[in-house]
Amino acid sequence: MDAREIRNLLEAVRRRRLSPARALERLRHLPFEDLGFAKIDHHRSLRQGYAEVIFARGKTPTQVAAIVRQMLRASHSNVLITRADPSIFRAVRRLTRAARYYPLSGVIAIRRSKSITGKGLILVLSAGTSDIPIAEEARLTAELMGNRVAAIYDVGVAGLHRLLDHRRQLAEARVIVVVAGMEGALPSVVGGMVGVPVIAVPTSTGYGASFGGLAALLGMLNSCASNVSVVNIDNGFGAGCVASVINRLP
């Protein structure tokens, strides 16, 4: 339940369209609801401006479906599930036909609100085609959290002219997420071209000496572009979330 929903609930009580008892029932599970195996943070939309996100890996389809069921009952916010598989999607799809599965990124999205709360454009870049799954996780996360998002893929440093062809979009963005594996050089290049926050996402894409993304992570952490910050390896969700928080700032 977000601030708008609680405001509407209180207004309904004030106008006597809803009894205090009914309103109390609606608020009963704030700040969280205990399902035994999970405690759903229904208060998160009020505190942070976006609903709790379900990390599906390690959870059974039944567990994910139970969490989604209660989230749908408690709020009209968008529901985002990350690192899901087809079996989890089938369980969620039985609850709502609005659920959509993005197999490339492993994201399940249930869009219930089209409200845009972000102030500007979030731009998501991928260095290579192999980095797109993580970039898509970032893109979908930012979209579900109420932002206008655009994506440009396969513009890594091995062919820098491909990136330079998109200078206008780079200049329009308020926040840029850059996803790269191998040596992880692309965020530094982008950071030197723009005056906005650049969120770097190292991926596990690469050959043996990339050490599963560690080489890209260290390269990004050592960037000489001072407007670059870094999230964990393959953490597209974290990048999309931080980009959304920045984009909501005045």
**HSE-CB of 35 using CA atoms within 13 angstroms:** 16
Considering the domain architecture, whether residues 136 and 208 belong to the same structural domain is answered as yes
Residue 200 lies in a domain: yes
pLDDT of residue 37: 82
| b (16+ CB within 10 A) / e for 143-159 | bbbbbebebbbbbbbee
Residue 11 lies in a domain: no
Considering the domain architecture, whether residues 147 and 101 belong to the same structural domain is answered as no
pLDDT of residue 83: 97
Residue 141 domain boundaries: 121-248
pLDDT of residue 238: 97
**Nearest-angstrom CA–CA distance, 87 and 114:** 27
Considering the domain architecture, whether residues 160 and 244 belong to the same structural domain is answered as yes
Residue 236 lies in a domain: yes
Q: How, if at all, do strands 79-82 and 99-102 pair?
A: unpaired
Considering the domain architecture, whether residues 37 and 102 belong to the same structural domain is answered as yes
Contact present, 81 and 68 (Cβ < 8 Å): yes
Considering the domain architecture, whether residues 151 and 218 belong to the same structural domain is answered as yes
Q: What is the pLDDT along the chain (250 residues), one digit of tens a residue?
A: 566 777 787 888 888 888 888 776 666 656 777 788 888 877 777 777 778 899 999 999 999 999 999 989 877 789 999 999 999 999 999 999 999 999 999 999 999 888 899 999 999 999 999 999 999 999 999 999 999 999 999 999 999 999 999 999 999 999 999 999 999 999 999 999 999 999 999 999 999 999 999 999 999 999 999 999 999 999 999 999 999 999 999 8
Neighbours of 103 (CB within 10 A): 12
Residue 24 lies in a domain: no
pLDDT of residue 110: 96
Neighbours of 209 (CB within 10 A): 9
Contact present, 120 and 174 (Cβ < 8 Å): yes
Residue 207 lies in a domain: yes
Q: Which of 86, 110, 134 is the last residue of a domain?
A: 110
Considering the domain architecture, whether residues 144 and 236 belong to the same structural domain is answered as yes
Considering the domain architecture, whether residues 101 and 185 belong to the same structural domain is answered as no
Residue 181 lies in a domain: yes
Residue 21 lies in a domain: no
Considering the domain architecture, whether residues 159 and 209 belong to the same structural domain is answered as yes
Q: 148: domain CATH number?
A: 3.40.50.1970
Maximum CA extent, the chain: 67
The pTM of the full predicted model, rounded to 2 decimals, is 0.86
Considering the domain architecture, whether residues 96 and 196 belong to the same structural domain is answered as no
Considering the domain architecture, whether residues 133 and 104 belong to the same structural domain is answered as no
Angle of the 20-27 helix axis to the 3-14 helix axis, nearest 10? 170
Cα distances (angstroms) measured from residue 114 to each of 1, 46, 85, 197: 16, 18, 25, 25
For the chain, give percent helix, strand, coil, nearest 5: 45, 20, 40
Q: Which of 110, 137, 152 is the last residue of a domain?
A: 110
Considering the domain architecture, whether residues 98 and 126 belong to the same structural domain is answered as no
Structural domains of the chain, count: 2
Q: Which of 84, 110, 136 is the last residue of a domain?
A: 110
